[in-house]
Amino acid sequence: MLIGSDKLASQTNDLIFVKHFTKKNKVVLRVLPKNKTSFDETTAKAIEVVRYDNINGVLTNSIVIEDLLRSFHIADTLNWMKLFRKDKDKAGFIYSMLYPTNTNEKLAADEKTKFEKMTFDMMLLSCDLDRDIANACGLYLADSSISNSKKYTYKIAMYTNSMSATTNQLLSLDIDASQLSTNKNITDLKGKSKKRVCTINWQAANYNSDYSGYNIYRSTDNVNFKKVNRSPVILLSTQFEKNKRYIHYGDTMREANKKYYYHIKGINFFGEEGDASNVFTTISITDVTSIPFIDSAKVIQNKMVKLKWRMEDDKETTLPKKYILMRSDKDNGVYKTIYESSTNLNYSDRSPGQLNFYRVAAVLINDDTLFSYSRFANIIDTIAPASPKDLKAIVDKKGIVTISWTKSKESDLQGYKLFKSNRLNDEFVQINNKFITDSFTTDKLNLKTLSKKIYYKIAASDNNFNASALSEAIEVKRPDTIPPQAPILVSVSQKTNCIEVRYILSNSDDVNKEILFKKKIDEIEFKDYYTFDPKDSTGIILDTLVEPGQTYEYQLRSSDEDKNISYSRSLDVLFETGFRKKINDITFTVDRTSKKIDLTWKYDEKNVEKYVIYRSKKDEIPTIVKTLEGNTLQFTDKTVNMGNVYEYRIKAAMANGAESIISSPVTVEY
């Protein structure tokens, strides 16, 4: 990653950008002209680079790092010859670009402009990939006199003209030398190989801001890597692939059946390589031109299949690293592995199905897989399927029976036969003329018969018409749609402490449940009160869970096994004893200042019309002092005198004339 900030001077800078890379004891600068005109102007006039110590924004200690930053002069034979010896083609291109001849004068104006732009772009790319070329073009500067504990400001200015000592500032660059720059890690190197060519690829577009090109490295031991490309590899796109993101690079692996390792290194804009990417590993293999071939597939004693195989070209039989034998019951079905080996080329299949299709896969050293054509072997089936299990049956009131069972596991199953009988010990007769192909079926029962039960059995049959033994029988009860005889509710009457219910239960033989229902007269739904025992014949129930003043309604219900229901008539009765429970929860407070006694009480009986308050002095006969409305639960007595002991009693009177038992006395000292 390139770290730094370009701060423009007060005047507008339309000429250059500057990138930097901070290293240990070194800062590297790259000048990036905005276009060919900018490059020509800065080259002609030269650039001055001055460094300042930056202490909290105060610039001190100016040092001229480069007083004339520009491309090598045309007559600088010493430096140009060094570049020509290193790479004459590249150096020759840069030299001709910097100092062109008149050969371009014959081009039309627009063609000349296009040519100059193309050569300028190629020059910048060359500078990105080669530090010496960037230096020759005056676009590279290394400052090795820094301290990594300081902050600096570099001021870049251009001379007014080639003969002047005055400059115009272009931009300034603030650098914290303690923050070392890093190159982005390349982690997505992938590849594939075919025969002896390995093609690696990576998403170079993700690294465009970090790298201008790449070098490819190869190893056979994952330790010693050597570069395989002569020139840096770059991401190039055409007008037809403007969104191109990947670089693909092909390399020939010279040795067959050998493991190769590849990694790449990006070249940053300062001509330096980044760290190695992740490693891609592959294997070069000897060309295999044939496919596996099953020599024979013999059926032995109608029980097993013996197979042999090889490669069609016998000389290639030893090249795959292993063979896999697969089997399916259909030629185009799903094949499952039944055997694999790297050396053994025969196998006896001791558990074949009836229909067997075999294929052999040859797995090469690079994990490419070659498949044989299928080979068929047939086992004549004489074994009947297993008898069906887990029969279940459901019948509705219309007599429709749904019979289900666990589906058989045989692969050659043709279907099922359904058998029926009116008696368990009679002969079962098949009732379907076509095989049932699912694991359920239906049947319609005759409901107009005296026979209450029917029995079913199932048999399975395979494609060779081998039939299984009949399954276990399942019993089905014919549905009953007639409700039982209705029970009789004879009478309901009040007794001293209960209500007496007299009844006669149903006489039907198939009754399985009889219930006495009860509800208060103001309730909507009946509730279960008592479930009768089948042997219960007393004819009388005494209901003690009753409250005085409440009217109760009763009804009987009888039901059979098929949930047919019959009801008795309903009868109601008022349970009234004339008395209600006494009031027990009475409290009082004494207020001698206000000369009063306050009584409060709680009472949960309903339909209270009034409360009668009795008072007496101790050992005297109580008399009525106040009668209150039935919704009042408190009384204040202001007719009291100091030094007396009073006893209070309360009685509730109901709207129907019933009364509660008078409460126990509450003694109050005043």
CATH architecture of the domain with residue range 488-575: Sandwich (2.60)
Q: What is the DSSP letter of 202?
A: E
Q: What is residue 512's predicted lDDT score, i.e. its pLDDT?
A: 87
When pLDDT is averaged across residues 168-174 and rounded to a whole number, the result is: 92
In this structure, of 77-86, 293-302, 380-389, 624-633, the range with the lowest mean pLDDT score is: 380-389
Which residues make beta-bridge pairs with 157? 48, 169
The yes-or-no answer to whether 292-378 and 389-477 have a common fold is: yes
Q: Residue 6's pLDDT band (boundaries 50, 70, 90)?
A: very low
Band of residue 131 on the pLDDT scale cut at 50, 70, 90 = very high
- Cβ–Cβ under 8 Å, residues 640 and 595: yes
Residue 472 burial class via C-beta count within 10 angstroms: exposed 0-12, middle 13-18, buried 19 and up: exposed
Report d(CA 22, CA 29) in Å as an integer.
Answer: 9
Q: Which of 285-289, 307-311, 381-385 has the highest mean pLDDT?
A: 307-311
Is the pLDDT assigned to residue 239 strictly greater than 80? no
> In this structure, what token pair is assigned to residue 490?
């004879």
CA separation for the pair 437, 414 (Å, rounded): 7
Residue 601: half-sphere exposure toward Cβ, Cα within 13 Å:
28
Sign of torsion, CA 201 202 205 208? negative
Closest CA to 491 of 502, 480, 481: 502
Residues paired with residue 654 on neighbouring β-strands, in sequence order: 608
pLDDT digits (tens, 9 = 90+) for 490-549: 999 988 888 999 999 988 888 889 999 999 988 999 999 999 887 776 789 998 898 888
Tell me which architecture the domain covering 579-669 has in CATH: Sandwich (2.60)
For 24, other C-beta atoms within 10 Å of its C-beta total 8
Which pLDDT does position 105 carry in this prediction?
65
Domain residue ranges in the chain? 5-176, 190-284, 292-378, 389-477, 488-575, 579-669
- Any residues with CB less than 8 A from the CB of 605 and at least 6 apart, and which? 580, 581, 652, 654, 660
Q: What's 436's DSSP letter?
A: B
Burial letters for 361-390: b for 16+ Cβ neighbours within 10 Å, e otherwise?
bbbbbbeeebebebbebebebeebbebbee
Tokens of 477: 């009860």
The token duo for 630 is 């039935």
For 188, other C-beta atoms within 10 Å of its C-beta total 14
Name the CATH topology of 389-477.
Immunoglobulin-like (2.60.40)
Cα–Cα distance for residue pair 256/254, rounded to 1 Å = 7
Burial class (CB in 10 A: 0-12, 13-18, 19+), 487: buried
Q: CA nearest 235: which of 209, 260, 261? A: 209
Count of CB atoms situated within 10 Å of the CB of 221: 8
The DSSP secondary-structure symbol of 94 reads H
Residue type present at position 339: Y
- Residue 582: how many other CB atoms lie within 10 Å: 16
User: What CA dihedral angle connects 579, 580, 581 and 585, to 10 degrees?
Assistant: -130
Return the sign of the alpha-carbon dihedral for residues 329, 332, 338, 342. Answer: positive
pLDDT at 489 over 80: yes
Where are any strands of DSSP class E within 209-353?
A: 213-219, 226-227, 247-252, 258-267, 273-276, 280-284, 292-300, 304-311, 322-328, 336-341, 346-349
Of how many residues is the chain composed? Answer: 670
C-alpha to C-alpha distance for 137 and 69, rounded to whole angstroms: 9
Q: 577 vs 659, which has greater pLDDT?
A: 659
Flag whether pLDDT at 9 surpasses 60: no
Phi first, then psi: give them for residue 95, nearest 5 degrees: -60, -45
Residue 584 CB neighbours (<10 A)? 10
Q: Which of 47-56, 102-111, 165-174, 527-536 has the lowest mean pLDDT?
A: 102-111
pLDDT at residue 662 greater than cutoff 80 = yes
Burial of residue 223, with CB atoms counted within 10 A of its CB: 0-12 exposed, 13-18 middle, 19 or more buried: exposed
Could you give the CA distance from residue 566 to residue 484 in angstroms, rounded to a whole number? Answer: 6
For the entire predicted model, the pTM comes to 0.48
Query: What was the pLDDT predicted at 607?
Result: 84
Residue with tokens 């005047």: 11
Beta-carbon contacts of 539 under 8 Å, excluding residues fewer than 6 positions away, are 490, 502, 503, 504
Q: With CA atoms as reference, report the closest residue to 48 among 20, 76, 16, 81.
A: 16
As a whole number, the mean pLDDT across the chain is: 88
Of 544, 510, 512, 508, the C-alpha closest to 529 is 544
Q: Which CATH class is domain 190-284?
A: mainly beta
Query: How far is Cα of residue 668 from the mean position of the Cα atoms in its chain?
Result: 76
Report the C-alpha gap between 402 and 393 in whole angstroms. 6
Cα separations in angstroms, 89 against 85, 94, 96, 214: 10, 9, 11, 20
Question: Are 329 and 357 a contacting pair, CB within 8 Å?
Answer: yes
pLDDT at position 562 is 77
Give the type of residue at 487: P
What is the per-residue pLDDT across 421-480, written as a single tens digit (0 to 9) for each? 988 899 999 999 999 999 999 999 887 776 778 999 999 998 888 888 999 999 998 887
Question: Distance between CA atoms of 199 and 11, rounded to whole angstroms?
Answer: 51
Q: Does 610 have pLDDT greater than 50?
A: yes
Q: Write the single-letter amino acid at 148.
A: N
| Residue-level pLDDT at 450 | 62
Specify the higher pLDDT residue, 58 or 287: 58
Per-residue b or e along 431-461, where b marks 16 or more CB atoms closer than 10 Å to that residue's CB: eeeeebeeeebebebeeeeeeeebbbbbbbb
Tell me the CATH architecture of domain 292-378. Answer: Sandwich (2.60)
End-to-end CA distance of the chain: 98
Residue found under tokens 């100016």: 62
In the predicted structure, residue 398 carries a pLDDT above the cut 90? no
Q: Is 380 helix (H, G, I), strand (E, B) or coil?
A: coil
Report CA 18 to chain centroid distance, whole Å: 48
Angle between helices 109-129 and 36-45 (to 10 degrees): 70
Task: State the pLDDT confidence band at 3, using cuts at 50, 70 and 90.
Answer: very low
